[in-house]
A and B are shown apart, each in its own frame.
Chain A
Amino acid sequence: MLILENITWAVPGGEQILKGVDLVIPSGGLTVITGPNGGGKTSLAKIVAGIETADSGRILLDGEDLTSLSITERARKGVGYAFQQPVRFKGITVRDLLELAAGHALGEKELCDILGSVGLCTHDYIDREVSTGLSGGEIKRIEIASVLARSDTKLCIFDEPEAGIDLWSFAGLLEAFQKLKTKNSGSILIISHQERILNIADEIVVIADGKVKARGSRQEIMPTLLADEKAAHCPRGKEVY
Protein backbone atom coordinates (compact mmCIF):
# COMPACT_ATOMS: atom_id res chain seq x y z
CA MET A 1 0.00 0.00 0.00
CA LEU A 2 1.25 3.45 -0.92
CA ILE A 3 0.38 6.30 1.40
CA LEU A 4 1.05 9.92 0.47
CA GLU A 5 0.67 12.47 3.23
CA ASN A 6 0.40 16.18 2.52
CA ILE A 7 2.77 16.20 -0.47
CA THR A 8 3.72 19.66 -1.64
CA TRP A 9 6.12 20.64 -4.38
CA ALA A 10 7.01 23.75 -6.31
CA VAL A 11 9.18 24.12 -9.37
CA PRO A 12 12.45 25.48 -7.97
CA GLY A 13 12.05 29.25 -8.02
CA GLY A 14 8.67 28.91 -9.69
CA GLU A 15 5.09 27.79 -9.58
CA GLN A 16 3.55 25.74 -6.77
CA ILE A 17 2.51 22.51 -8.51
CA LEU A 18 1.38 20.23 -5.67
CA LYS A 19 -0.54 21.87 -2.86
CA GLY A 20 -0.96 19.14 -0.28
CA VAL A 21 -1.81 15.75 -1.78
CA ASP A 22 -3.12 13.06 0.57
CA LEU A 23 -3.69 9.72 -1.07
CA VAL A 24 -3.85 6.01 -0.29
CA ILE A 25 -3.21 3.54 -3.12
CA PRO A 26 -4.16 0.04 -1.96
CA SER A 27 -2.14 -3.08 -2.76
CA GLY A 28 -3.43 -5.53 -5.33
CA GLY A 29 -5.37 -2.92 -7.26
CA LEU A 30 -5.06 -0.74 -10.30
CA THR A 31 -5.42 2.96 -9.66
CA VAL A 32 -5.56 5.50 -12.47
CA ILE A 33 -4.73 9.13 -11.83
CA THR A 34 -6.27 11.51 -14.30
CA GLY A 35 -6.89 15.22 -14.54
CA PRO A 36 -6.14 18.22 -16.68
CA ASN A 37 -2.71 18.93 -18.09
CA GLY A 38 -0.51 20.81 -15.64
CA GLY A 39 -2.52 19.60 -12.67
CA GLY A 40 0.44 17.86 -11.04
CA LYS A 41 -0.01 14.18 -12.01
CA THR A 42 3.46 13.58 -13.47
CA SER A 43 5.08 15.68 -10.74
CA LEU A 44 3.43 13.48 -8.13
CA ALA A 45 4.58 10.29 -9.87
CA LYS A 46 8.15 11.60 -10.10
CA ILE A 47 8.09 12.47 -6.41
CA VAL A 48 7.00 8.93 -5.53
CA ALA A 49 9.82 7.49 -7.66
CA GLY A 50 12.34 9.92 -6.13
CA ILE A 51 13.07 11.75 -9.38
CA GLU A 52 11.81 14.95 -7.78
CA THR A 53 11.94 15.69 -4.06
CA ALA A 54 8.82 16.86 -2.26
CA ASP A 55 9.06 20.12 -0.35
CA SER A 56 7.01 18.60 2.44
CA GLY A 57 5.03 15.48 3.25
CA ARG A 58 5.68 11.76 3.66
CA ILE A 59 5.72 8.77 1.31
CA LEU A 60 5.10 5.35 2.85
CA LEU A 61 5.22 2.06 0.94
CA ASP A 62 3.97 -0.96 2.85
CA GLY A 63 4.61 0.99 6.04
CA GLU A 64 8.19 1.91 5.18
CA ASP A 65 9.06 5.59 4.93
CA LEU A 66 10.61 6.29 1.50
CA THR A 67 10.60 10.06 1.81
CA SER A 68 14.32 10.54 2.29
CA LEU A 69 15.47 7.67 0.07
CA SER A 70 17.23 8.13 -3.28
CA ILE A 71 15.82 6.93 -6.62
CA THR A 72 18.06 3.87 -6.47
CA GLU A 73 17.02 3.00 -2.93
CA ARG A 74 13.34 3.35 -3.78
CA ALA A 75 13.80 1.16 -6.85
CA ARG A 76 15.44 -1.47 -4.67
CA LYS A 77 12.52 -1.20 -2.26
CA GLY A 78 10.20 -2.13 -5.12
CA VAL A 79 9.20 1.09 -6.89
CA GLY A 80 9.04 0.68 -10.68
CA TYR A 81 8.59 3.68 -12.96
CA ALA A 82 7.88 3.91 -16.68
CA PHE A 83 8.67 7.36 -18.01
CA GLN A 84 6.16 9.36 -19.99
CA GLN A 85 8.92 10.23 -22.44
CA PRO A 86 11.22 7.23 -22.66
CA VAL A 87 14.96 7.68 -22.75
CA ARG A 88 17.08 6.51 -25.66
CA PHE A 89 20.52 4.94 -25.25
CA LYS A 90 23.15 4.47 -27.94
CA GLY A 91 24.75 1.08 -27.54
CA ILE A 92 22.32 -0.35 -25.00
CA THR A 93 20.16 -3.03 -26.56
CA VAL A 94 16.63 -4.04 -25.67
CA ARG A 95 18.08 -7.17 -24.08
CA ASP A 96 20.54 -5.11 -22.02
CA LEU A 97 17.77 -2.86 -20.72
CA LEU A 98 15.42 -5.69 -19.82
CA GLU A 99 18.21 -7.64 -18.10
CA LEU A 100 19.20 -4.57 -16.11
CA ALA A 101 15.57 -4.25 -15.09
CA ALA A 102 15.26 -7.91 -14.17
CA GLY A 103 18.60 -7.89 -12.35
CA HIS A 104 19.77 -11.05 -14.08
CA ALA A 105 20.25 -12.62 -17.51
CA LEU A 106 16.99 -13.50 -19.21
CA GLY A 107 16.28 -16.60 -21.25
CA GLU A 108 14.56 -16.51 -24.60
CA LYS A 109 11.23 -17.56 -23.11
CA GLU A 110 11.32 -14.85 -20.45
CA LEU A 111 12.25 -12.25 -23.04
CA CYS A 112 9.50 -13.47 -25.31
CA ASP A 113 6.96 -13.25 -22.47
CA ILE A 114 8.00 -9.73 -21.54
CA LEU A 115 8.19 -8.30 -25.05
CA GLY A 116 5.16 -10.26 -26.18
CA SER A 117 3.12 -8.63 -23.45
CA VAL A 118 3.75 -5.25 -25.07
CA GLY A 119 3.14 -6.57 -28.56
CA LEU A 120 6.74 -6.89 -29.72
CA CYS A 121 8.43 -9.93 -31.22
CA THR A 122 11.61 -10.89 -29.39
CA HIS A 123 13.37 -11.97 -32.54
CA ASP A 124 12.88 -8.58 -34.18
CA TYR A 125 13.84 -6.39 -31.24
CA ILE A 126 16.12 -8.09 -28.76
CA ASP A 127 19.43 -7.04 -30.31
CA ARG A 128 18.33 -3.59 -31.40
CA GLU A 129 19.66 -0.51 -29.65
CA VAL A 130 17.19 1.44 -27.52
CA SER A 131 17.96 4.38 -29.73
CA THR A 132 16.88 6.42 -32.72
CA GLY A 133 16.31 3.34 -34.85
CA LEU A 134 13.12 2.66 -32.91
CA SER A 135 9.90 4.58 -33.45
CA GLY A 136 8.20 6.50 -30.66
CA GLY A 137 5.64 3.74 -30.24
CA GLU A 138 8.26 1.01 -30.16
CA ILE A 139 10.36 2.78 -27.58
CA LYS A 140 7.29 3.43 -25.45
CA ARG A 141 6.47 -0.27 -25.41
CA ILE A 142 10.03 -1.12 -24.44
CA GLU A 143 9.79 1.42 -21.62
CA ILE A 144 6.68 -0.33 -20.32
CA ALA A 145 8.42 -3.70 -20.76
CA SER A 146 11.31 -2.49 -18.60
CA VAL A 147 8.91 -2.22 -15.68
CA LEU A 148 7.16 -5.50 -16.47
CA ALA A 149 10.60 -7.21 -16.52
CA ARG A 150 11.10 -6.48 -12.85
CA SER A 151 10.02 -9.24 -10.52
CA ASP A 152 10.38 -7.41 -7.23
CA THR A 153 8.02 -4.48 -7.59
CA LYS A 154 5.62 -3.44 -4.88
CA LEU A 155 4.50 -0.40 -6.83
CA CYS A 156 4.49 -0.03 -10.61
CA ILE A 157 3.98 3.49 -11.97
CA PHE A 158 3.20 4.06 -15.64
CA ASP A 159 3.10 7.67 -16.79
CA GLU A 160 0.78 8.01 -19.78
CA PRO A 161 1.53 4.57 -21.18
CA GLU A 162 -0.89 5.12 -24.05
CA ALA A 163 1.23 7.86 -25.63
CA GLY A 164 2.48 6.67 -28.99
CA ILE A 165 0.67 3.34 -28.82
CA ASP A 166 -1.43 2.74 -31.90
CA LEU A 167 -5.10 1.87 -31.69
CA TRP A 168 -4.50 -1.67 -32.88
CA SER A 169 -2.11 -2.37 -30.01
CA PHE A 170 -4.20 -0.75 -27.33
CA ALA A 171 -6.07 -3.90 -26.42
CA GLY A 172 -2.75 -5.65 -25.90
CA LEU A 173 -1.61 -2.88 -23.59
CA LEU A 174 -4.75 -3.19 -21.50
CA GLU A 175 -4.24 -6.93 -21.35
CA ALA A 176 -0.67 -6.42 -20.13
CA PHE A 177 -1.90 -4.27 -17.25
CA GLN A 178 -4.60 -6.81 -16.40
CA LYS A 179 -1.98 -9.58 -16.37
CA LEU A 180 0.32 -7.51 -14.21
CA LYS A 181 -2.52 -6.96 -11.78
CA THR A 182 -3.15 -10.70 -11.60
CA LYS A 183 0.44 -11.73 -10.99
CA ASN A 184 1.51 -8.76 -8.89
CA SER A 185 0.30 -8.36 -5.35
CA GLY A 186 1.60 -4.80 -5.22
CA SER A 187 0.01 -1.57 -6.38
CA ILE A 188 -0.32 -0.40 -9.97
CA LEU A 189 -0.55 3.32 -10.56
CA ILE A 190 -1.25 4.61 -14.06
CA ILE A 191 -1.40 8.22 -15.10
CA SER A 192 -3.70 8.50 -18.06
CA HIS A 193 -6.27 10.52 -19.92
CA GLN A 194 -7.53 7.54 -21.86
CA GLU A 195 -11.09 6.40 -21.33
CA ARG A 196 -10.16 2.79 -22.13
CA ILE A 197 -7.51 2.81 -19.42
CA LEU A 198 -9.85 4.52 -16.98
CA ASN A 199 -12.32 1.73 -17.71
CA ILE A 200 -9.99 -0.93 -16.28
CA ALA A 201 -9.28 1.02 -13.08
CA ASP A 202 -10.33 -0.25 -9.68
CA GLU A 203 -10.10 3.29 -8.50
CA ILE A 204 -9.83 6.64 -10.25
CA VAL A 205 -8.17 9.66 -8.69
CA VAL A 206 -8.67 13.09 -10.22
CA ILE A 207 -5.87 15.55 -9.60
CA ALA A 208 -6.35 19.15 -10.61
CA ASP A 209 -4.60 22.32 -9.56
CA GLY A 210 -2.21 20.39 -7.36
CA LYS A 211 -4.84 18.70 -5.22
CA VAL A 212 -6.92 15.55 -5.17
CA LYS A 213 -10.19 16.78 -6.59
CA ALA A 214 -12.08 13.48 -6.53
CA ARG A 215 -11.51 9.77 -6.00
CA GLY A 216 -13.70 6.72 -6.21
CA SER A 217 -14.62 3.72 -8.29
CA ARG A 218 -14.91 4.14 -12.04
CA GLN A 219 -18.69 3.87 -11.68
CA GLU A 220 -18.59 6.84 -9.35
CA ILE A 221 -16.05 8.97 -11.19
CA MET A 222 -16.55 8.31 -14.90
CA PRO A 223 -19.99 9.94 -15.26
CA THR A 224 -18.63 13.12 -13.72
CA LEU A 225 -15.56 13.11 -15.95
CA LEU A 226 -17.62 12.57 -19.08
CA ALA A 227 -20.08 15.27 -18.04
CA ASP A 228 -17.20 17.68 -17.43
CA GLU A 229 -15.86 16.87 -20.86
CA LYS A 230 -19.20 17.54 -22.48
CA ALA A 231 -19.64 20.76 -20.59
CA ALA A 232 -16.27 21.90 -21.78
CA HIS A 233 -17.42 21.21 -25.38
CA CYS A 234 -14.45 18.99 -26.00
CA PRO A 235 -14.69 16.98 -29.18
CA ARG A 236 -16.00 13.56 -28.31
CA GLY A 237 -12.95 11.33 -28.38
CA LYS A 238 -10.87 8.98 -26.41
CA GLU A 239 -9.33 11.49 -24.06
CA VAL A 240 -11.47 12.54 -21.15
CA TYR A 241 -8.97 15.14 -20.02
Chain B
Amino acid sequence: MNKITEKLLEVIADWTGSFSGAFNIREDGQCVGRQSSPFVQIESMAGGAGMEIRILPGCKGETVYIPACVTKSDVTDLVYNDFYVADGCDVTIVAGCGVHNDGEGEAKHNGIHRFFIGKGAHVLYKEKHVGIGEGSGAKRIDPITDIHLEEDAVMEMDTTQISGVDSTVRTTNANLAARAKLIIHERLMTDGDETAKTDFTVNMNGDDAGVDLISRSVAKDRSHQEYRSIIRGNTRCTGHSECDAILVGNGTVSAAPELFAGHIDAALIHEAAIGKIAGEQILKLQTLGLTEEEAEQKIIDGFLRG
Protein backbone atom coordinates (compact mmCIF):
# COMPACT_ATOMS: atom_id res chain seq x y z
CA MET B 1 0.00 0.00 0.00
CA ASN B 2 1.34 3.45 -0.84
CA LYS B 3 1.81 6.44 1.50
CA ILE B 4 -1.21 8.27 0.10
CA THR B 5 -3.43 5.34 0.94
CA GLU B 6 -2.07 5.30 4.47
CA LYS B 7 -2.82 9.01 4.79
CA LEU B 8 -6.36 8.54 3.48
CA LEU B 9 -6.94 5.58 5.77
CA GLU B 10 -6.05 7.69 8.80
CA VAL B 11 -8.88 10.06 7.87
CA ILE B 12 -11.56 7.65 6.74
CA ALA B 13 -10.96 4.56 8.85
CA ASP B 14 -8.98 5.62 11.94
CA TRP B 15 -5.93 3.74 10.61
CA THR B 16 -3.03 3.66 13.05
CA GLY B 17 -0.71 1.39 11.07
CA SER B 18 -2.81 -1.75 11.30
CA PHE B 19 -6.34 -3.07 11.67
CA SER B 20 -7.28 -5.72 14.16
CA GLY B 21 -9.79 -8.34 13.14
CA ALA B 22 -11.20 -8.64 9.65
CA PHE B 23 -10.39 -6.11 6.94
CA ASN B 24 -9.96 -5.51 3.25
CA ILE B 25 -8.03 -2.52 1.92
CA ARG B 26 -8.65 -1.46 -1.65
CA GLU B 27 -6.20 0.83 -3.46
CA ASP B 28 -6.76 2.05 -7.01
CA GLY B 29 -9.01 -0.87 -7.81
CA GLN B 30 -6.77 -3.55 -6.32
CA CYS B 31 -6.80 -5.38 -3.02
CA VAL B 32 -3.66 -4.47 -1.05
CA GLY B 33 -4.54 -6.19 2.18
CA ARG B 34 -7.13 -8.65 3.42
CA GLN B 35 -7.76 -10.65 6.52
CA SER B 36 -10.71 -12.71 7.64
CA SER B 37 -11.49 -13.64 11.21
CA PRO B 38 -13.29 -16.58 12.82
CA PHE B 39 -16.63 -14.75 12.56
CA VAL B 40 -16.03 -12.64 9.45
CA GLN B 41 -15.21 -14.20 6.09
CA ILE B 42 -14.10 -11.94 3.24
CA GLU B 43 -13.89 -13.49 -0.21
CA SER B 44 -13.67 -12.17 -3.76
CA MET B 45 -16.74 -12.42 -5.93
CA ALA B 46 -16.50 -14.56 -8.96
CA GLY B 47 -15.14 -12.38 -11.76
CA GLY B 48 -13.32 -10.07 -9.37
CA ALA B 49 -15.89 -7.27 -9.39
CA GLY B 50 -15.93 -7.08 -5.63
CA MET B 51 -16.26 -9.00 -2.41
CA GLU B 52 -18.65 -10.97 -0.29
CA ILE B 53 -18.36 -10.24 3.37
CA ARG B 54 -20.10 -12.80 5.52
CA ILE B 55 -20.75 -12.04 9.17
CA LEU B 56 -21.23 -15.46 10.66
CA PRO B 57 -23.60 -16.59 13.42
CA GLY B 58 -22.25 -15.76 16.86
CA CYS B 59 -20.40 -12.61 15.80
CA LYS B 60 -20.71 -10.09 18.62
CA GLY B 61 -18.99 -6.73 18.93
CA GLU B 62 -16.50 -7.19 16.09
CA THR B 63 -15.41 -4.37 13.77
CA VAL B 64 -14.80 -5.01 10.07
CA TYR B 65 -12.84 -2.51 7.98
CA ILE B 66 -13.59 -2.25 4.24
CA PRO B 67 -12.00 1.05 3.15
CA ALA B 68 -11.30 1.97 -0.46
CA CYS B 69 -8.81 4.54 -1.74
CA VAL B 70 -8.11 6.09 -5.10
CA THR B 71 -4.71 7.75 -5.04
CA LYS B 72 -4.16 9.17 -8.55
CA SER B 73 -5.69 10.61 -11.69
CA ASP B 74 -7.35 8.61 -14.43
CA VAL B 75 -8.57 5.90 -12.12
CA THR B 76 -12.21 4.83 -12.10
CA ASP B 77 -12.74 2.25 -9.41
CA LEU B 78 -16.02 0.36 -9.44
CA VAL B 79 -16.57 -2.22 -6.73
CA TYR B 80 -19.49 -4.35 -5.59
CA ASN B 81 -19.46 -5.39 -1.97
CA ASP B 82 -22.17 -7.65 -0.60
CA PHE B 83 -22.54 -7.96 3.17
CA TYR B 84 -24.42 -10.94 4.57
CA VAL B 85 -25.09 -10.57 8.27
CA ALA B 86 -26.40 -13.67 10.01
CA ASP B 87 -29.34 -13.63 12.39
CA GLY B 88 -28.59 -12.12 15.78
CA CYS B 89 -25.12 -10.79 14.97
CA ASP B 90 -23.83 -7.47 16.27
CA VAL B 91 -21.14 -5.92 14.09
CA THR B 92 -19.58 -2.58 13.19
CA ILE B 93 -18.60 -2.06 9.57
CA VAL B 94 -16.23 0.77 8.67
CA ALA B 95 -16.27 1.41 4.93
CA GLY B 96 -14.89 4.83 4.16
CA CYS B 97 -13.58 6.07 0.84
CA GLY B 98 -10.80 8.54 0.12
CA VAL B 99 -9.85 9.99 -3.24
CA HIS B 100 -6.54 11.75 -3.84
CA ASN B 101 -5.83 13.55 -7.09
CA ASP B 102 -2.71 15.55 -7.91
CA GLY B 103 -3.17 15.29 -11.67
CA GLU B 104 -5.42 16.62 -14.40
CA GLY B 105 -7.53 13.54 -15.07
CA GLU B 106 -10.51 12.40 -13.06
CA ALA B 107 -10.18 10.14 -10.02
CA LYS B 108 -13.40 8.32 -9.20
CA HIS B 109 -14.72 5.68 -6.86
CA ASN B 110 -18.08 3.95 -7.18
CA GLY B 111 -18.84 1.66 -4.28
CA ILE B 112 -21.99 -0.39 -4.56
CA HIS B 113 -22.72 -1.93 -1.19
CA ARG B 114 -25.55 -4.32 -0.57
CA PHE B 115 -26.53 -5.34 2.94
CA PHE B 116 -28.58 -8.43 3.72
CA ILE B 117 -29.15 -8.21 7.45
CA GLY B 118 -30.67 -11.18 9.19
CA LYS B 119 -33.34 -11.38 11.84
CA GLY B 120 -32.50 -9.58 15.07
CA ALA B 121 -29.05 -8.55 13.86
CA HIS B 122 -27.56 -5.15 14.64
CA VAL B 123 -25.19 -3.34 12.28
CA LEU B 124 -23.43 -0.05 12.82
CA TYR B 125 -22.24 1.08 9.40
CA LYS B 126 -19.75 3.96 9.34
CA GLU B 127 -18.92 5.55 6.03
CA LYS B 128 -16.65 8.57 5.75
CA HIS B 129 -15.75 10.15 2.40
CA VAL B 130 -13.01 12.66 1.72
CA GLY B 131 -11.14 14.12 -1.23
CA ILE B 132 -7.60 15.52 -1.10
CA GLY B 133 -4.87 16.59 -3.54
CA GLU B 134 -4.00 19.73 -5.45
CA GLY B 135 -4.54 18.56 -9.03
CA SER B 136 -7.08 20.14 -11.34
CA GLY B 137 -8.64 16.76 -12.07
CA ALA B 138 -12.02 16.05 -10.47
CA LYS B 139 -12.42 13.86 -7.41
CA ARG B 140 -15.69 11.92 -7.48
CA ILE B 141 -17.31 9.46 -5.13
CA ASP B 142 -20.67 7.95 -6.07
CA PRO B 143 -21.76 5.40 -3.47
CA ILE B 144 -24.85 3.25 -3.79
CA THR B 145 -26.09 1.52 -0.66
CA ASP B 146 -28.86 -1.08 -0.79
CA ILE B 147 -30.16 -2.29 2.56
CA HIS B 148 -32.42 -5.24 3.27
CA LEU B 149 -33.44 -5.60 6.89
CA GLU B 150 -35.23 -8.72 8.02
CA GLU B 151 -37.54 -8.91 11.02
CA ASP B 152 -36.24 -7.15 14.14
CA ALA B 153 -32.96 -6.21 12.46
CA VAL B 154 -31.43 -2.81 13.21
CA MET B 155 -29.02 -0.81 11.10
CA GLU B 156 -27.43 2.47 12.12
CA MET B 157 -25.79 4.21 9.20
CA ASP B 158 -23.43 7.04 9.96
CA THR B 159 -22.37 8.62 6.68
CA THR B 160 -20.13 11.64 6.39
CA GLN B 161 -18.53 13.55 3.55
CA ILE B 162 -16.01 15.91 5.05
CA SER B 163 -14.62 17.95 2.21
CA GLY B 164 -12.73 17.98 -1.06
CA VAL B 165 -15.03 15.80 -3.17
CA ASP B 166 -15.85 17.72 -6.34
CA SER B 167 -18.91 15.74 -7.20
CA THR B 168 -20.90 13.06 -5.46
CA VAL B 169 -24.15 11.26 -6.02
CA ARG B 170 -25.12 9.32 -2.92
CA THR B 171 -27.91 6.82 -3.34
CA THR B 172 -29.40 4.79 -0.51
CA ASN B 173 -32.28 2.34 -0.85
CA ALA B 174 -33.72 0.34 2.03
CA ASN B 175 -36.44 -2.25 2.54
CA LEU B 176 -37.58 -2.99 6.07
CA ALA B 177 -39.42 -6.04 7.30
CA ALA B 178 -41.53 -6.21 10.47
CA ARG B 179 -40.07 -4.42 13.50
CA ALA B 180 -36.86 -3.61 11.65
CA LYS B 181 -35.28 -0.23 12.44
CA LEU B 182 -33.10 1.97 10.26
CA ILE B 183 -31.35 5.01 11.65
CA ILE B 184 -29.40 7.17 9.21
CA HIS B 185 -27.25 10.15 10.17
CA GLU B 186 -25.84 11.98 7.18
CA ARG B 187 -23.36 14.85 7.48
CA LEU B 188 -22.27 16.62 4.36
CA MET B 189 -20.13 19.64 3.65
CA THR B 190 -19.37 21.11 0.26
CA ASP B 191 -17.34 24.17 -0.67
CA GLY B 192 -15.80 25.80 -3.73
CA ASP B 193 -17.69 24.60 -6.80
CA GLU B 194 -18.48 21.16 -5.42
CA THR B 195 -21.82 19.47 -5.99
CA ALA B 196 -23.53 16.80 -3.95
CA LYS B 197 -26.73 14.88 -4.58
CA THR B 198 -28.28 12.70 -1.93
CA ASP B 199 -31.14 10.35 -2.64
CA PHE B 200 -32.78 8.19 0.02
CA THR B 201 -35.59 5.74 -0.61
CA VAL B 202 -36.93 3.77 2.34
CA ASN B 203 -39.75 1.25 2.05
CA MET B 204 -41.31 0.01 5.25
CA ASN B 205 -43.03 -3.22 4.39
CA GLY B 206 -43.54 -4.89 7.77
CA ASP B 207 -45.64 -3.91 10.76
CA ASP B 208 -43.90 -1.73 13.35
CA ALA B 209 -40.90 -1.03 11.16
CA GLY B 210 -39.30 2.35 11.78
CA VAL B 211 -36.90 4.74 10.13
CA ASP B 212 -35.20 7.85 11.47
CA LEU B 213 -33.39 9.78 8.76
CA ILE B 214 -31.38 12.81 9.83
CA SER B 215 -29.38 14.83 7.33
CA ARG B 216 -27.31 17.87 8.21
CA SER B 217 -25.37 19.68 5.57
CA VAL B 218 -23.37 22.83 4.97
CA ALA B 219 -23.08 24.36 1.50
CA LYS B 220 -20.27 26.91 1.32
CA ASP B 221 -18.97 29.21 -1.38
CA ARG B 222 -20.59 28.41 -4.74
CA SER B 223 -21.28 24.77 -3.98
CA HIS B 224 -24.64 23.17 -4.65
CA GLN B 225 -26.46 20.34 -2.93
CA GLU B 226 -29.62 18.46 -3.78
CA TYR B 227 -31.44 16.38 -1.24
CA ARG B 228 -34.18 13.93 -2.16
CA SER B 229 -35.82 11.46 0.12
CA ILE B 230 -38.92 9.33 0.04
CA ILE B 231 -40.18 7.33 2.96
CA ARG B 232 -42.93 4.91 2.10
CA GLY B 233 -44.98 3.55 4.94
CA ASN B 234 -46.72 0.54 3.43
CA THR B 235 -47.79 -0.93 6.76
CA ARG B 236 -48.28 0.14 10.37
CA CYS B 237 -44.97 1.88 10.92
CA THR B 238 -43.20 5.06 11.98
CA GLY B 239 -40.99 7.28 9.86
CA HIS B 240 -39.20 10.49 10.66
CA SER B 241 -36.93 12.53 8.47
CA GLU B 242 -35.13 15.72 9.34
CA CYS B 243 -33.20 17.65 6.74
CA ASP B 244 -31.31 20.74 7.87
CA ALA B 245 -28.89 22.74 5.78
CA ILE B 246 -26.76 25.79 6.46
CA LEU B 247 -25.83 28.12 3.64
CA VAL B 248 -22.53 29.99 3.73
CA GLY B 249 -21.50 32.49 1.06
CA ASN B 250 -23.24 31.70 -2.21
CA GLY B 251 -23.94 28.05 -1.46
CA THR B 252 -27.29 26.70 -2.65
CA VAL B 253 -29.42 23.77 -1.52
CA SER B 254 -32.48 22.15 -3.00
CA ALA B 255 -34.44 19.80 -0.74
CA ALA B 256 -37.39 17.67 -1.73
CA PRO B 257 -38.45 15.30 0.99
CA GLU B 258 -41.43 13.10 0.26
CA LEU B 259 -43.61 10.93 2.44
CA PHE B 260 -46.00 8.26 1.27
CA ALA B 261 -48.47 6.73 3.70
CA GLY B 262 -49.93 3.61 2.18
CA HIS B 263 -51.54 2.39 5.39
CA ILE B 264 -53.91 4.00 7.85
CA ASP B 265 -51.45 3.39 10.72
CA ALA B 266 -48.36 4.69 8.99
CA ALA B 267 -47.14 7.65 11.09
CA LEU B 268 -44.70 9.73 9.08
CA ILE B 269 -43.12 13.06 9.96
CA HIS B 270 -40.80 15.32 8.08
CA GLU B 271 -38.92 18.40 9.27
CA ALA B 272 -36.73 20.60 7.10
CA ALA B 273 -34.87 23.86 7.46
CA ILE B 274 -32.47 25.64 5.12
CA GLY B 275 -30.87 28.97 5.86
CA LYS B 276 -27.79 30.89 6.78
CA ILE B 277 -26.34 30.83 10.28
CA ALA B 278 -28.61 32.88 12.51
CA GLY B 279 -27.06 36.22 13.42
CA GLU B 280 -28.03 35.70 17.05
CA GLN B 281 -25.96 32.52 17.18
CA ILE B 282 -22.87 34.41 16.04
CA LEU B 283 -23.59 37.22 18.52
CA LYS B 284 -23.98 34.80 21.42
CA LEU B 285 -20.61 33.19 20.79
CA GLN B 286 -19.01 36.60 20.29
CA THR B 287 -20.21 37.58 23.76
CA LEU B 288 -18.21 34.58 24.99
CA GLY B 289 -15.06 36.00 23.39
CA LEU B 290 -15.00 34.28 20.00
CA THR B 291 -14.40 36.23 16.81
CA GLU B 292 -17.07 36.14 14.12
CA GLU B 293 -15.01 33.65 12.11
CA GLU B 294 -14.38 31.43 15.14
CA ALA B 295 -18.06 31.54 16.04
CA GLU B 296 -19.09 30.54 12.52
CA GLN B 297 -16.68 27.61 12.53
CA LYS B 298 -17.87 26.40 15.95
CA ILE B 299 -21.48 26.54 14.80
CA ILE B 300 -20.70 24.58 11.63
CA ASP B 301 -18.55 22.03 13.46
CA GLY B 302 -21.26 21.47 16.06
CA PHE B 303 -24.01 21.31 13.46
CA LEU B 304 -22.23 18.66 11.44
CA ARG B 305 -21.17 16.68 14.48
CA GLY B 306 -24.62 16.62 16.08
CA separation between A193 and B135, bound complex, in Å?
Answer: 63
In the complex, the answer to whether A91 meets B304 with C-beta atoms within 8 Å is yes
Q: Which residues of A contact B298 (CB under 8 A)?
A: 92, 96, 100
Closest A residue by C-beta to B303: A91
- Interchain pairs with CB closer than 8 A, number: 64
Q: Which residues of B contact A154 (CB under 8 A)?
A: none
CA separation between A103 and B253, bound complex, in Å?
Answer: 34
Residues 47-73 of A contacting B (Cβ, < 8 Å) = 49, 51, 70-72
* Partner-binding segment picked from B7-15, B69-77, B285-293: B285-293
A140 located at the interface, meaning its Cβ lies under 8 Å from any Cβ of chain B in the complex: no
Residue with the greatest number of chain A CB neighbours at <10 A, chosen from B298, B301, B302: B302
In the complex, the answer to whether B278 meets A92 with C-beta atoms within 8 Å is no
Residue with the greatest number of chain A CB neighbours at <10 A, chosen from B285, B288, B305: B288
Residue with the greatest number of chain B CB neighbours at <10 A, chosen from A83, A86, A87, A91: A91
Closest A residue by C-beta to B286: A71
Residues 67-81 of A contacting B (Cβ, < 8 Å) = 70-72, 75-76, 79-81
Q: A51-B283, A71-B283 are in contact. Are A89 and B288 (CB under 8 A)?
A: no
CA separation between A75 and B283, bound complex, in Å?
Answer: 11
- The binding surface of chain B is classed by DSSP as helix
CA separation between A79 and B292, bound complex, in Å?
Answer: 17
In the complex, the answer to whether A75 meets B302 with C-beta atoms within 8 Å is no
CB distance from B255 to the nearest CB of A (A): 16
Q: Which residues of A contact B288 (CB under 8 A)?
A: 75, 100-101, 146, 150
Chain B count of residues within 8 A CB distance of the other chain: 23
Q: Which residues of A contact B286 (CB under 8 A)?
A: 70-72, 75
Bin chain A's interface residue count.
20 to 34
A129 located at the interface, meaning its Cβ lies under 8 Å from any Cβ of chain B in the complex: yes
- The binding surface of chain A is classed by DSSP as mixed
A90 located at the interface, meaning its Cβ lies under 8 Å from any Cβ of chain B in the complex: yes
Residue with the greatest number of chain A CB neighbours at <10 A, chosen from B244, B292, B298, B301: B298
In the complex, the answer to whether A91 meets B302 with C-beta atoms within 8 Å is yes
CA separation between A146 and B216, bound complex, in Å?
Answer: 26
- Selected from A80, A86, A100, A150, the residue in CB contact (under 8 A) with B285 is A100
In the complex, the answer to whether A92 meets B290 with C-beta atoms within 8 Å is no
B17 located at the interface, meaning its Cβ lies under 8 Å from any Cβ of chain A in the complex: no
Q: Which residues of A contact B292 (CB under 8 A)?
A: 72
In the complex, the answer to whether A72 meets B290 with C-beta atoms within 8 Å is yes
Closest A residue by C-beta to B279: A87
In the complex, the answer to whether A75 meets B281 with C-beta atoms within 8 Å is no
In the complex, the answer to whether A80 meets B287 with C-beta atoms within 8 Å is yes
Interface, chain A (partner B; CB < 8 A): 49, 51, 70-72, 75-76, 79-81, 83, 86-87, 89-93, 96, 100-101, 103, 129, 146, 150
Could you give 19 example pairs across A and B, Cβ below 8 Å?
Answer: A71-B286, A72-B290, A72-B291, A83-B280, A87-B278, A87-B280, A87-B283, A87-B284, A89-B299, A90-B302, A90-B303, A91-B301, A91-B302, A92-B303, A93-B306, A96-B298, A100-B290, A103-B289, A150-B288
Given A51-B287, A91-B216: 13 more A-B contacts, CB < 8 Å: A71-B283, A71-B286, A72-B286, A81-B287, A83-B287, A87-B278, A90-B303, A91-B302, A91-B304, A92-B298, A92-B302, A100-B298, A129-B306
